[in-house]
Amino acid sequence: MESLWSRIEPLLSQVTKPARYIGGELGAQSPEHVDDSVAWLLVYPDTYEIGLPNQGLQILYEILNERSDAVAERSYAPWVDMEEQMRAHGIPFFSLENHLPARAFDVLAFNLSAELTFTNVLNLIDLAGMPVRSADRSLEDPLVVAGGHCAFNPEPLADFVDCFVLGDGEEVIGEINEVLAAWKADRPIEGGDAESGTREELLRALSQVPGVYVPWCYRPEYAEVGESEQEGEADQEGQAARDDPAGWSLPALVGTVPRFAETPERVEKRTIPDLGAWPYPKQQLVPLIEVVHDRLNVELFRGCTRGCRFCQAGMITRPVRERPAEQVRTMVSRGLDRTGYDEVALTSLSSADYSGIEDTVTSIIDDPSCSGQVSVSLPSLRVDAFTVGTAAQIQRVRRTGLTFAPEGGTWRMRQVINKLIREEDLYAAVDAAFSQGWRRVKLYFLIGLPTETDEDTLGIVTLARQCVEIGKRYHNSVTVIASVGGFVPKVQTTFQWFGQNTVEELSRKVNLLREAARRVRGLTIRWHDPKATAVEGIASRGDRRTGAVIEDVWRAGGTFQEWSEHFDLQLWTDALAAHGLSLEQAVYRHRLEDEALPWDHISAGLHRDFLWQDWRDALDAHGLEDCRWTPCYDCGACTGFGIEHVVASAVPPAGGSQGTGQDLSTGGQVPVRFLVTAPVGAGSATSADASPAISVGEGKG
């Protein structure tokens, strides 16, 4: 297949940031395509700057190119100006390494990290010159594969993607490659025997690979019209008033069932037991232009046992698997040597929880070859003073700002979401930060959480204001930024049954916060657009019928919905209405205990009854300790896969789990109920009988 470069080159002086389309990064490969190898185009469906740093994509890129029977190239979504030029000049979606058209590949593999990129997935399939719906594609079209966190609710993209890959990709990508290579070898020459090598045969073969979900092999079944109304009536309390009867025009889902005898009823995610066996990326890509997270990234561990109930990443990546400390050090020193970066991020979902984090960090910054000019960052800091001490040590080169994530404004709220940080933990952390030279502290919060009251919402300002006061003890001028996101319930989490706050309710809460923060000098409130939060909710928990909505929005020009200049709520509400759906039904509605969920046939290892019990505990403001150093709660993630948490050190980190200073030597009662602490300032901790605003499925358990 011929390179498109000579046709692409003249367009580049007409577009913004033309270097997005040239490739040539350090670490980029230029694989030679040969007939019997499977050619993969790995795609991140957002801009180059957002997509290039994605470590998952880079890991698979290396693993595939190391195989003798595979080649892999990369691509990212061309920005709207480039897309316009490409469509005007008849240039299809292309790869960055050899500038080959996407249709020259055997597989288009998409990384799904965010729901708002779903319309881009359709757009790129179309830009590749293929029908967007799987059913309309032929043997000549590449297979469309998708993986990543959003694959845990695959149904909204089930009509467009041929197969989804669940969980860690390191092992399963090779298994998929083998199925494809065998199928390719058997594929009849054009006009040959139509019985073998059909697309259906390939899909059924792929459905036999553990961790691979082929939507075509499953059929969603819906209730007869009328049944769903009963469910609507059964739903009570704060919910009934919010439901628009018109939003119930579609029948309820009864289940998603296999179509063939050999198709598994449930697809379990893949989990690699030993991260140390996969020291990737070995050759992290160093882009020529500035991208997000532009630094060396070394993954400390995968999984998280904090048990924050809103956090999908923490739930679906269990159990904890730490990388051996020695391997971390080697990857850091080799990586810095190779790339010339002066910053390394030790990544994970909660890096300060890595066993032996202090020793690891100290050995990096004391490495003489770093010449004292390398800074280490821990992207997700734990909220406690101890962690700030470590941060002071590692950010001695560049001290820009520190970020903490208390997530909830009151202790009661944080018990509901199981983010067990006390006011005094946060204040001690902030005190440590300001006293050690930082002048800017950023705090992450969620609004629209289950059982949230205005007191909880306003607790955000109370906390942030107190942080400003602490800062003033050390500096004349300090900045505290409270960054507020609207909560989107995610599948395979404790909160998967929760009805998301409406756009109006989130906007009201944002205004409450802005009003309360108005006269606090040094405090800035930043917030995420509640309209975008609502749209994330559509795809987050949608069923297969959501696909038509996504297709409509794409056809109406709705690409790059993650970008505020392109986001348009109207496109989504129009498309929902056209297909008999509404935000009320798709997003704002609480799910019921016995309701069939569109992702019930997909498993991240977590037992549904564990999640339901955790949901009930949440509504009772009842917290659970980190299970890494306490007895097992039997969530299912370890036992289901026959593996356990892998820690690099048997000693829990100083400061205790979640920074709560708990005594870990004896373990705790299971589950542990945390006592309400003394109130700090107005509007913080409340009494235990503070009634939850909602009560879901009451009387059914």
Partner 1 sequence: MRIRFRFSKVGKVRFTSQRDVARMWERALRKARLPLAYTEGFSPRPQLSFGFALPTCAESIAEYLDVALDPGRPETASVDVYGLPSQLTPLLPEGITVSESAVVDPKSGSLQQQVTSCSWVMNFTDVTREALAERTAALLEASVVPIRRERKGREADDDLRPSVLALSVPERTDQDALVGWGLDRGNQPGVELIAELVTQPRGVRPRELVAGLVAVGRSPGWDGTRTGRTGVGQDEIGTLPVLDRACRTQQWIERDGARWEPLALRAIPSEPDRAVYASVRAS
- Under the rule (CB under 8 A), what is the footprint of partner 1? 6, 10, 12-13, 18-19, 21-24, 26, 286, 288-290, 337-342, 369, 371, 373, 397-400
Q: What is the three-class DSSP state of 145?
A: strand
Alpha-carbon distance of 108 to 43, in angstroms, equals: 7
Instruction: Give least dist CB 331 to partner 1, A.
Output: 17
Measured from the CB atom, is 373 or 477 closer to partner 1? 373
Measured from the CB atom, is 282 or 338 closer to partner 1? 338
Q: Show the tokens assigned to 143.
A: 């297979």
Instruction: Give least dist CB 469 to partner 1, A.
Output: 24
Q: Show the tokens assigned to 299.
A: 């993954």
Alpha-carbon distance of 691 to 375, in angstroms, equals: 47
CB proximity list for 570: less than 8 A, separation 6 or greater: none
Instruction: Give least dist CB 506 to partner 1, A.
Output: 34
Instruction: Give least dist CB 18 to partner 1, A.
Output: 4
Measured from the CB atom, is 344 or 484 closer to partner 1? 344
Instruction: Give least dist CB 90 to partner 1, A.
Output: 16
DSSP code of residue 94? B
Instruction: Give least dist CB 393 to partner 1, A.
Output: 16
Instruction: Give least dist CB 57 to partner 1, A.
Output: 21
Measured from the CB atom, is 22 or 234 closer to partner 1? 22
DSSP of 73-129: EEEEPPPHHHHHHHHHTTPPPB-SSS--BGGGSSEEEEE---GGGHHHHHHHHHHTT
Measured from the CB atom, is 368 or 699 closer to partner 1? 368
Instruction: Give least dist CB 98 to partner 1, A.
Output: 13
Measured from the CB atom, is 78 or 668 closer to partner 1? 78
Q: What is the three-class DSSP state of 466?
A: helix
Instruction: Give least dist CB 695 to partner 1, A.
Output: 51
Q: Show the tokens assigned to 455.
A: 């007191």
Alpha-carbon distance of 211 to 486, in angstroms, equals: 31
Residue written as token pair 């509404």: 582
Quickly count: other Cβ atoms within 10 Å of residue 261's Cβ.
5
Measured from the CB atom, is 340 or 701 closer to partner 1? 340
Amino acid at 180: L
Instruction: Give least dist CB 285 to partner 1, A.
Output: 12
Q: What is the three-class DSSP state of 313?
A: helix
Alpha-carbon distance of 608 to 458, in angstroms, equals: 33
Q: Show the tokens assigned to 82.
A: 């480039």
Measured from the CB atom, is 129 or 401 closer to partner 1? 401
The answer to whether the CB of 61 falls within 8 A of the CB of 42 is yes
- Nearest residue to 601 (alpha-carbon basis) of 234, 164, 113, 159: 164
Measured from the CB atom, is 373 or 666 closer to partner 1? 373
The answer to whether the CB of 309 falls within 8 A of the CB of 618 is yes
- Nearest residue to 124 (alpha-carbon basis) of 219, 32, 224, 47: 47
The answer to whether the CB of 151 falls within 8 A of the CB of 114 is no
Instruction: Give least dist CB 395 to partner 1, A.
Output: 10
Measured from the CB atom, is 219 or 398 closer to partner 1? 398
Alpha-carbon distance of 561 to 537, in angstroms, equals: 13
Cα–Cα distance list, 121 to 46, 64, 531, 558 (Å): 9, 22, 21, 11
Alpha-carbon distance of 488 to 166, in angstroms, equals: 21
Alpha-carbon distance of 115 to 533, in angstroms, equals: 10
Measured from the CB atom, is 339 or 613 closer to partner 1? 339
Alpha-carbon distance of 668 to 21, in angstroms, equals: 54
Alpha-carbon distance of 440 to 437, in angstroms, equals: 9
Measured from the CB atom, is 91 or 586 closer to partner 1? 91
Alpha-carbon distance of 665 to 605, in angstroms, equals: 28
Instruction: Give least dist CB 442 to partner 1, A.
Output: 16
Amino acid at 493: T
